[in-house]
Chains A and B, each alone.
Chain A
Amino acid sequence: MTLAQHALRSAVYELADALDANELYQQKGWTDGLPIVPPTEERVRDCLDAAGLTPADVIGVETVRQRSITAEKVAINAVMAGCLPTYMPVVVATLRAMCDEDFNFHGSTASTGGSAQFIVVNGPVRTAIDLNATHGVFGPGHRANATIGRAVRLVLINILGCVPGQLDRSTLGHGGKFTFCIAEDEEDSPWTPLAQERSVSPGASGVTVMACEAPRQVMNEWTHDPEEICETFAAEIRHNMLTYSIWPGNYALVIPKQLRELLVAAGWQKKDIREYIYRSARVFRREWATVGKKNVVARSGGPDQEFTALRSPEDLLVVAAGGPAGGFAAIIPPWLGPRSHAVTRTIAGS
C-alpha cells in the first residue's frame, strides 16, 4: 500500500473557495489570527509523503493532556501555516523534540510565563529549504523561517488546545509565539554547529528546540577583546536573572558575523564562550534589592546565596547567525530555568 492510499480521518468541509475557507477557520478559532492556506487533501498528502509518514503515525504524545499528535493533524496545520512539503520533516522533528520529557511540553506551553519555542536548524536541510541564517534572522522575509515556527504554533493551538485564555495562560507572551525559527550560519562560521555539539552526526540535519522568553538584543562595537565582548553578553544574562528569573537553565546566545570574527581571531571556540559566560553570569540574592525585589532577598539561602545562570557551561546554546554588519547579538532566556530543557533531534530523511 502506498502512502497515498491510507485514509485521512479528519472531518471535511466543502466551501466555495479559499477565501471562504479562511473565514471559516478564523471564525472557529483555528488560526493564530493570520490568514491560512486551505488544507486540502492533496496538499496534506504532499506533506505526509515528503516526510514518509502515514496519516495515523503518532509523532508524539503530550502526556499531561493525554493527546496523541498524529501525522495527519500535523500535516493539516503545516499546510495552513504555509509550509511547503519539504519543510514537513523539520516540523515533525521539532514536535518530536518537544514531546521529550525533558522539554516539559505541558508546563512550558501553558504557563503564565508566556514562552515560545526557539527552533534552531542545522545541517543540509537548511540550504535545501532556504532557511535564513543571516540578514534579519529573527525577522520576516523567508518562507521557511516564517512557516515552520508557525506550523508548530498552529499544532499547539489546534491539537493541544493552547488557545490564549484556555490552556495557554500566558500573561504577555511575545512575538516569537507566531514563529521563532532560524538556521545556524554554518557556511560562514568555523565553529561546530549546535546540533553536532548536541550529538547529531556530522552531515546529518538536526533541530534544537528551547522554551524561551523574548530575545534581548545587546550591542558592543567598541572592542576587539573577546572577554569584553562576552562580558556584554554576561551582563544581559545577569540582568535577566534579576529582573525576570534567577533560576539556571538553557540560555541561547546568537552571535552575528561581526562579533564572531573578533572572537575567532582571538582563537575562541564556542567552548571558550560557554566557559566565560558560566564564570561571569552570576548574581547574589542580595542584588535583587537593586531591582525592587528586596522582599525576597532573605528567603531560601539568604542575601549571600550565589546563583549561576547556567548549571554547567553546556547549558549555553551558542548559535552563529545574523547579518554580516553590526555588533548586535541576542540573549534568549529560558522560560523558567531548569523546568524545561532544550532538546535536540535528528531530522529524518534530510
Chain B
Amino acid sequence: MTIRVLDPTFGEEIATTDRVAGLTSLAGRTVGLLDNSKINVQQLLDHVEEILRGQHGVKAVVRLKKPDASRPAPAAVVAEMKGCDAVISAVGD
C-alpha cells in the first residue's frame, strides 16, 4: 500500500507566461537601467552604464526611475522599458 501525493509548487504545467531566450551578446543592444529609488542606486547604475558601453558594446542605455522601491514600476515605465533588449533593475539590498 502506497500513497500518492501532489506537488504544491508553481509548476510548468500551469505556467502563464513564456520565458524569452537569453541574449548571447550585448553588442549593439539597448539596455534599460531601472533605478528603484533606493539609496546610492544612481551611482551604481552610472558605473554599470560605463561598463556596458565601454566593455560590452551596448548601443543605447535607457535610464528610468520608479518612484519607490516597495511598489511595482508604473505602467508607463514598464511600457518604455519594453523597447529594450534587456533591463537591469537595481538595487536589491
Cβ–Cβ contact A112 & B10, under 8 A: no
> In the bound complex, do residue A21 and residue B10 qualify as a contact, i.e. CB atoms below 8 Å apart?
no
Q: Which of B1-9, B21-29, B40-48, B50-58 faces chain A? A: B1-9
B45 to chain A, nearest CB (A): 20
| Contact between A158 and B5, CB atoms less than 8 A apart | no
Assuming the contacts A67-B16, A104-B71, asked whether A15 and B10 have C-beta atoms less than 8 A apart, the reply is: no
Q: Does A187 contact B (CB under 8 A)?
A: no
- Output the nearest chain B residue to A101 by Cβ-Cβ distance: B72
Q: Find out whether the CB atom of B5 lies under 8 angstroms from the CB atom of A66.
A: no
Give the contacting residue for B3; candidates A21, A70, A72, A159; CB below 8 A. Answer: A21
A217 interfacial contact with B, CB 8 Å:
no
Q: Tally chain A residues at the interface, Cβ within 8 Å.
A: 48
Contact A68 B14 (CB under 8 A): yes
Bound: A84/B62 CA distance, A: 51
Name A2-20 residues within 8 Å CB distance of B. Answer: 8-18
- Chain A residue at smallest Cβ distance from B7: A11
Task: Please tell me if the beta carbons of B16 and A41 are within 8 angstroms of each other in the complex.
Answer: no
Interface pair A158/B16, CB less than 8 Å apart: no
Judge whether B3 and A161 touch: CB under 8 Å: no
A39 contacts B92, C-beta separation under 8 Å: no
Contact A12 B5 (CB under 8 A): yes
Q: Which of A73-81, A140-148, A199-207, A300-308 contacts B (4 or more CB under 8 A)?
A: A73-81
B5 touches A21 (CB 8 A): yes
A15/B2 in contact, CB under 8 A: yes
In the complex, whether A26 has a CB less than 8 A from a CB of chain B is no
Contact A14 B6 (CB under 8 A): no
- Contact of B11 with A by CB under 8 A: yes
Per-residue 0/1 for A14-33: is the Cβ within 8 Å of any B Cβ (1 yes, 0 no)?
11111001001100001000
Is A283 among interface residues, defined by CB-CB distance under 8 A? no
Does A63 make an interface contact (CB < 8 A)? Answer: yes
Select one of A38, A56, A159 contacting B10, CB under 8 A: A159
The verdict on A1 contacting chain B, using a C-beta distance below 8 Å, is no
A124 to chain B, nearest CB (A): 30
Minimum distance in angstroms from B8 CB to a CB of chain A:
4
- Contacts A106-B72, A339-B71 given; indicate if A158 touches B10 (C-beta within 8 A): yes
Q: Of B2, B68, B70, which is in contact with the most chain A CB atoms at under 10 Å from its CB?
A: B70
Knowing A66-B16, A73-B14, A104-B70, the reply to whether A154 touches B8 (Cβ < 8 A) is yes
Q: Which residues of B contact A (CB under 8 A)?
A: 2-11, 13-14, 16-17, 68-72, 92-93
Using a CB–CB cutoff of 8 Å, the interface residues on chain A facing chain B are 8-18, 21, 24-25, 30, 38-41, 44, 56, 61, 63-64, 66-68, 70, 72-73, 76-77, 80, 104, 106-108, 111-112, 154, 158-161, 169, 336, 339-340
Given A10-B11, A10-B13, A39-B8, 14 more A-B residue pairs with CB atoms under 8 Å apart are A10-B6, A13-B7, A14-B3, A15-B2, A17-B2, A41-B4, A67-B10, A73-B8, A73-B10, A73-B14, A107-B72, A154-B8, A159-B8, A159-B9
